[in-house]
Structure 1
Amino acid sequence: MDVSLGIVECIPLMEDLYYASIECDGVPLEQLAGERVGCRLEQSEGQAPGFLPQRHQLVFRSVPSPEAAPDDDTIQRVIYRTDLPYRPGHSSIIYPAELNRRPTTVGALGPYASLICGHQDYIENSVLLSAVQAVGSAARLREIREVAHTYGHRFRARSDGARNTRHRRTMLESISDGLSHLELELSYSVEAGGDIGTLVPALRVESFHNALYSTMGLTERSATIGQMLSRLSNAIAAELTSVESAEQRAGDRRRIRTVVAVTFVTTVTGTLSLLFGFFGVNAQQVDQSRSMFDDRYAPIYALIAFILASSLAIFGGMRLHERWSERRERGLLRTWETIHGLLAREFGTVMLDPMHMVAPPPNPRVPGTRPQPPDEEPQPSGTRTQ
């Protein structure tokens, strides 16, 4: 927008433009901007259409002579959009070195407005592109932050005591997949936008872009949100490990139940097969005229009982050996042993055990502490006593 006003007289216009409270032939500024870019602003979900809260104003002015360059007080009035004096030393305005190198050039940057004076047209166009990139990165950073907070709320609202681990795993996997997309978007849409020197090889443009990212706080905010995403990813990874452990325990229990059932069936069928196999053989030891519960067959029943008892004894012996091994392994590692025990084992350092420290016997050659006389002044060391 080209206006024929003084630089201080533009402050009320800048204020109206910042809050989009200006109309052109009865058309609001936001609608006019949307029509210029071919976008129809339609109200949806009960929200009025409009600009995003992230915005940055640029003020360009020509400087024909060094005397026409604005002073610090005028610059702060434009940057803060208020026609009031200020106290020097209390300002967040940044002056890039490359934009203020000559007497007729001025470059002052604030978080929401910048003043560029005395520069060529291609520098002003590059500065405009830089501001567009910075505002787009700030808007994208806000969206990433909101989505990250949504993921964090979903993660905190999860039910740890839910028995359905499949639902928990599905929820965690969806959040993890979304976080990977957010980290990629943060890298390419925000962090990569901080480097403009590879696209526009100009010192003044690069100096302006770096200062703009710094004064808008995009570098620090992107680092903070990156830490949020990283820590949330670590928390989700730990939760997935917990879910995997619960699923593994459930799988172990299923396998144990299956093994117990199969072992029981195998034991019963094996015993019955041995028994009926004996009675089914065509031998003289099997008398068809006798009952299977006759005392004559007591040895075969004793043999079967001996086999079952032997199997139970083997199982009990293995279980006792397992418990003995567990106690032995726990006894090898001291409960108080930490890094000091590791150093003692690896490097042979001396490790003092307070539980087994014994006071050495007194040495008669070393004199004890001389008692102080009760009613006299303390005597200096080396004074002979009578």
Structure 2
Amino acid sequence: MSAAGTHSDGPAPLPFDPYASREKTRLTTVYSTPWTYDPAQVDGAAERPGANLNLGRLAKHYSRSDQQLPRVLRRESLDCASLAFRRWSDGEPASAQLWHFLLPSGQVIVALTLDVSGTLTETIPLLEDLHYASVECAGLPLEQIAADRIGCVPNGDGQVPGFLPERHQLVFSSVDSPEHVPGEDTVQRVIYRTDLPYRAQHSSICYPMELNRRPTTVGALGPYVSLICGHQDYIENCVLLSAVQAVGSAARLREIREVAYAYVHRFRHRSAGGQSSAHDRRTALEDITDGLSQLELELSYSVEVGSDIGTLVPALRVESFHQELFGAMGLTERAATIGQMLQRLGNATAAELTSVESMERRAADRRRVRTVVSVTFVTTITGTLSLLFGFFGVNARQVDQHRSMFDNSYTPIYALITAILLCAVAIFGAMRLQERWEERRDRGRTRTWEGTHRLLAREVGAVILDPANAPAARRIPGSRPARTDRRTPPMPR
């Protein structure tokens, strides 16, 4: 059987698509961007991938699951004569295509496809230029052109935000016969974008089994570059969509981590100065909890779910490449790590909310006590007045109707009533002072990050040092100065 997909002894075609046959080497670089669409408006903004890419017999699967897979936002051909590169100077590309993809999360991913002449190793300088986006078209940087095509406006600094760090490159090449299959040394030179030898035992290149099953097919993956040789055109397009999904997931994962660290910073400084009230702390913790729920949902549907394509597209080669690519880029392990970080931050927030609820319950108890004291105080005053007026209303010889109620003879009864009132006021004031002291004590508890060190010092005897009191280095009497020469001293004779 030859690489074209026909029997060696006859012209009868096999019942599957022929292998890609092109004279040029195709380079596709996928860039992540900070540009996003509202997920609620994604449906009408992009087309199904099958409308712009040849997906062969897998087109129906991609169309059925287009809500979960990348879609084509726009496609444009660039003028090859107007392209300029920093390192590569071997002529000009035969064709250039600028792609804008749209992920279900609303992320916009840009891809630049170039068809160039030359061997695989001769494209290494061009791969380097494409990786760092050192490309200009008609004197304009590639980032500016890609932003202008979708109407991206400058931000508050007056600059248009460019590409993000996450990117991946795909190198597609045809193979006519097993003799033309690139060797292991050529593969590593392309994937590492350097024309230098290497040691095979120290390499992170992955070789998916399904992509290397045929004698004339090669699939080699690295964290930043993948080499695909001798496969059908629709497999190459599926590989492109998988790379778009992986780059978008990597960018979203980094953004989730940055936001999570921002929440950690807010959590550590939630009561800086000890003056935050329970209400303010509860509000801050509720904001963090709400943000964590959204981050966990985004982590699940934009990163973790994106690593599984076998459920949507039943193709061994596509699934093999997709899983190996996510593994080579480290997305699976990083997603698990960030998921644990979000979970632990959520647990810490829940524990802090429990502490705030305890403070609020104590405050509610104090309010109830204060209410009871107030009611008791009013009752005391009312009872005292009732006692006073009841005294003057009794029919006794101590009450003389010919004397005024302000007569000095009634001083003892007034003194008794005044003492009762003063005792009530003193009791109320003392309880109010105790309540304020307890509130200041609760607010004064150190709940910032340095509280962890004090906790360790209290529980396990750790010592907290003060850098200002660090003594200067001094020489111990009788000791030798430190040796700066690490050579072995001479043996004694």
Normalising by structure 1, report the TM-score: 0.70
> Aligned pair 1:129/2:241, yes or no?
yes
Q: Could you tell me which residue of structure 1 aligns to residue 299 of structure 2?
A: 186
Q: Could you tell me which residue of structure 2 aligns to residue 24 of structure 1?
A: 137
> Aligned pair 1:144/2:256, yes or no?
yes
> Aligned pair 1:219/2:342, yes or no?
no
Give CA-to-partner distance per residue, 1:150-188, whole Å, 9 cap, x none.
111111122262252222211111111111111111111
Q: Which has the higher helix share?
A: 1
Q: Of the candidates 57, 61, 66, which is equivalent to residue 178 of structure 2?
A: 66
Q: Could you tell me which residue of structure 1 aligns to residue 285 of structure 2?
A: 172
- What is the rounded CA distance, in whole Å, between the counterparts of 1:237 and 1:279 in structure 2? 63
- Within 5 Å, give how 1:91-106 maps onto structure 2: 91-106=203-218
- What is the rounded CA distance, in whole Å, between the counterparts of 1:274 and 1:44 in structure 2? 75
Letter in 1 for 2:328: T
> Aligned pair 1:10/2:123, yes or no?
yes
- What is the rounded CA distance, in whole Å, between the counterparts of 1:163 and 1:263 in structure 2? 32
Secondary structure of the residue that 1:133 maps to in structure 2?
Answer: helix
Secondary structure of the residue that 1:9 maps to in structure 2?
Answer: helix
Q: 1:106 to 1:253 in 2, by over 3 A?
A: same
- What is the rounded CA distance, in whole Å, between the counterparts of 2:381 and 2:155 in structure 1? 75
Secondary structure of the residue that 1:103 maps to in structure 2?
Answer: coil
Give CA-to-partner distance per residue, 1:272-295, whole Å, 9 cap, x none.
4366457657x89998759899xx
- What is the rounded CA distance, in whole Å, between the counterparts of 2:200 and 2:247 in structure 1? 28
- What is the rounded CA distance, in whole Å, between the counterparts of 2:216 and 2:367 in structure 1? 82
Q: 1:92 to 1:200 in 2, by over 3 A?
A: same
Letter in 1 for 2:201: G
Letter in 2 for 1:252: D
Instruction: Please say if residues 256 and 299 of structure 2, whose CA atoms lie closer than 8 Å, have aligned partners that are also in contact.
Output: yes
Q: Of the candidates 227, 231, 241, which is equivalent to residue 115 of structure 1?
A: 227
Instruction: Please say if residues 76 and 93 of structure 1, whose CA atoms lie closer than 8 Å, have aligned partners that are also in contact.
Output: yes
Percent identity for Structure 1 against Structure 2: 72
Instruction: Please say if residues 77 and 83 of structure 1, whose CA atoms lie closer than 8 Å, have aligned partners that are also in contact.
Output: yes
Give CA-to-partner distance per residue, 1:230-256, whole Å, 9 cap, x none.
111111112212222222222222221
- What is the rounded CA distance, in whole Å, between the counterparts of 2:142 and 2:243 in structure 1? 19
Give CA-to-partner distance per residue, 1:59-92, whole Å, 9 cap, x none.
0111111111111110000000001111111100
> Unaligned 5+ residue runs, structure 2?
1-113, 407-412, 421-493
- Within 5 Å, give how 1:1-386 maps onto structure 2: 1-35=114-148, 37-40=149-152, 42=154, 44-45=156-157, 49-159=161-271, 161-273=274-386, 276-277=389-390, 280=393, 289=401
**Larger CA Rg, structure 1 vs 2:** 1
Larger relative contact order (Cα-Cα within 8 Å, sequence gap ≥ 6): 2
- What is the rounded CA distance, in whole Å, between the counterparts of 2:393 and 2:208 in structure 1? 104
Q: 1:43 to 1:284 in 2, by over 3 A?
A: closer
Secondary structure of the residue that 1:64 maps to in structure 2?
Answer: coil
Secondary structure of the residue that 1:107 maps to in structure 2?
Answer: strand
Secondary structure of the residue that 1:60 maps to in structure 2?
Answer: strand
Letter in 2 for 1:162: Q
Letter in 1 for 2:282: R
- What is the rounded CA distance, in whole Å, between the counterparts of 2:241 and 2:333 in structure 1? 22
- What is the rounded CA distance, in whole Å, between the counterparts of 1:111 and 1:229 in structure 2? 25
Q: 1:286 to 1:136 in 2, by over 3 A?
A: same
Q: 1:99 to 1:270 in 2, by over 3 A?
A: same
Instruction: Please say if residues 31 and 41 of structure 1, whose CA atoms lie closer than 8 Å, have aligned partners that are also in contact.
Output: no
Q: 1:287 to 1:274 in 2, by over 3 A?
A: closer
Secondary structure of the residue that 1:89 maps to in structure 2?
Answer: coil
- What is the rounded CA distance, in whole Å, between the counterparts of 1:43 and 1:252 in structure 2? 51
Instruction: Please say if residues 41 and 50 of structure 1, whose CA atoms lie closer than 8 Å, have aligned partners that are also in contact.
Output: no
- How far does residue 51 in structure 1 lie from its aligned partner after superposition? 1.1
Aligned residues: 298
- CA root-mean-square deviation: 2.8
- How far does residue 199 in structure 1 lie from its aligned partner after superposition? 2.2
Secondary structure of the residue that 1:122 maps to in structure 2?
Answer: helix
- What is the rounded CA distance, in whole Å, between the counterparts of 1:15 and 1:39 in structure 2? 28
Q: 1:41 to 1:60 in 2, by over 3 A?
A: farther
Q: Which has the higher strand share?
A: 2
Instruction: Please say if residues 307 and 323 of structure 2, whose CA atoms lie closer than 8 Å, have aligned partners that are also in contact.
Output: yes
- How far does residue 57 in structure 1 lie from its aligned partner after superposition? 0.2
Instruction: Please say if residues 196 and 206 of structure 1, whose CA atoms lie closer than 8 Å, have aligned partners that are also in contact.
Output: yes
- What is the rounded CA distance, in whole Å, between the counterparts of 2:347 and 2:169 in structure 1? 39
Q: Could you tell me which residue of structure 1 aligns to residue 444 of structure 2?
A: none
Letter in 2 for 1:175: I
Secondary structure of the residue that 1:2 maps to in structure 2?
Answer: strand
Letter in 1 for 2:206: I
Secondary structure of the residue that 2:121 maps to in structure 1?
Answer: coil
- What is the rounded CA distance, in whole Å, between the counterparts of 1:144 and 1:218 in structure 2? 13
- What is the rounded CA distance, in whole Å, between the counterparts of 1:42 and 1:287 in structure 2? 92
- What is the rounded CA distance, in whole Å, between the counterparts of 2:164 and 2:217 in structure 1? 32
- What is the rounded CA distance, in whole Å, between the counterparts of 1:10 and 1:40 in structure 2? 31
Q: 1:44 to 1:63 in 2, by over 3 A?
A: farther
